Amino acid sequence: MASTMISLASATPSASLSVQETLKGKTRLGSGSVSTLFNKEKGNPSNKKKSFGRISMTVAVNVSRFEGIAMAPPDPILGVSEAFRADIDVKKLNLGVGAYRTEELQPYVLDVVKKAENLMLERGENKEYLPIEGLAAFNKVTAELLFGADNPVIEQQRVATVQGLSGTGSLRLAAALIERYFPGAQVLISSPTWGNHKNIFNDARVPWSEYRYYDPKTVGLDFEGMISDIKAAPEGSFVLLHGCAHNPTGIDPTPEQWEKIADVIQEKNHIPFFDVAYQGFASGSLDADASSVRLFAARGMELLVAQSYSKNLGLYAERIGAINVVCSSADAAARVKSQLKRIARPMYSNPSVHGARIVANVVGDPALFNEWKAEMEMMAGRIKNVRQKLFDSLSAKDKSGKDWSFILKQIGMFSFTGLNKAQSDNMTNKWHVYMTKDGRISLAGLSLAKCEYLADAIIDSYHNVS
């Protein structure tokens, strides 16, 4: 604790008077509270004469060693929920965070997750530490779910899979691997992208640049711009791709466009790096949503894939995911896995077991696996119904002739509305609709009953706010 001493003095020809400041335990960290003690000059007990003396005062002010740390800005996504909770309006809608809600707008725990947890209780499984790489049964079913159990990369043991702290933690492990073993290599990130991608690579000190992705004129994919920017990047760059249900736009390349993207990445000797956060949750099909990753793997390319079970199994708080690195040989995969473990050890030591066991039970058991697929289809179907109802409401209410069909062309839990920051602010300030300032809304937080209200808010904001 630092202490600042301040001395104030004034002098006259007469006798002296001293003012001694004492703290007596009253000063707290960062506080300027003081107490003072005045001692009268001896020799003037009657105090009849006016006496002017020299006054000195010493002030001790405690200054925090952390004084130089500024207040961090609120997270642009999680901060939306904080503002939503503070709003008392009954009409309020939280369309910011990508978390699935029921038609009653309540959190949903999958039935198959409850069954998997009951199995864990029946077995009386312990809470011992997992190995650094995570639960072996989880890693096995996770890689098979992503690539397919009969995929050559699985059979040839060319995949290094390490359990991570959901998608974010898995991305962070991969970023540390890039920084350590590919010094100077940059990561290409779509414009726009999930808000945390840039934070992750900045924190890992990995340089990044953007490639064009979203075309505001069509509210669609700027495919030519994307291809051009990937071609122009330095050879050997990492290209971050969203496996399905691109966040925030909901705009995915077509199968033919994926082929062309793979062509260019191979030509430039780039390394594809997939973020797969919505497998099975986007279309309702696990295989369809993994098709982009499997296309690249089938070409014999080395690649990285971060996975998350937050959305498709609703395990948001369990923080369960994985990083997969597909290598050209089993030997290379073993060495990569050893280094991923080395990175994880000082970062968080080892991952949590609860979510990993849920995944291993669900994916590894044929009966539970089929139940899970049915529940995913139900969740994906609800979002598709909401997407359709929102489009119908906008088309019926908006008499300007604007084409809202882009909403139906997008996929997954998000819709990129095309609203700018001022219009998004109007959505919140006037209509109590909470969303990110880039115009993204989470359809997973919308109900059929609220679609018309949301359509009114969007139309007002689009046409009446410049």
Token look-up 């890689």 returns 143
Q: Is-cis flag, bond preceding 192, omega within 30? A: yes
Q: How many CB atoms lie under 10 A from the CB of residue 390?
A: 25
Cβ atoms of 244 and 411 closer than 8 Å: yes
Catalytic positions are 194, 275, 311
In total, the chain counts a number of residues equal to: 466
Token look-up 């003396």 returns 53
Which long-range contacts does 211-220 make (Cβ < 8 Å, 24+ apart)?
211/239, 213/246, 213/249, 213/251, 214/190, 214/249, 214/251, 214/416, 216/418, 218/406, 219/406, 219/416, 219/418, 220/251, 220/406, 220/409
Residues 6+ away with beta carbon under 8 Å from 285 = none
Burial-class residue 188 by CB neighbours within 10 Å (0-12, 13-18, 19+).
buried
Residues 6+ away with beta carbon under 8 Å from 390 = 407, 415, 443, 446, 451, 454, 455
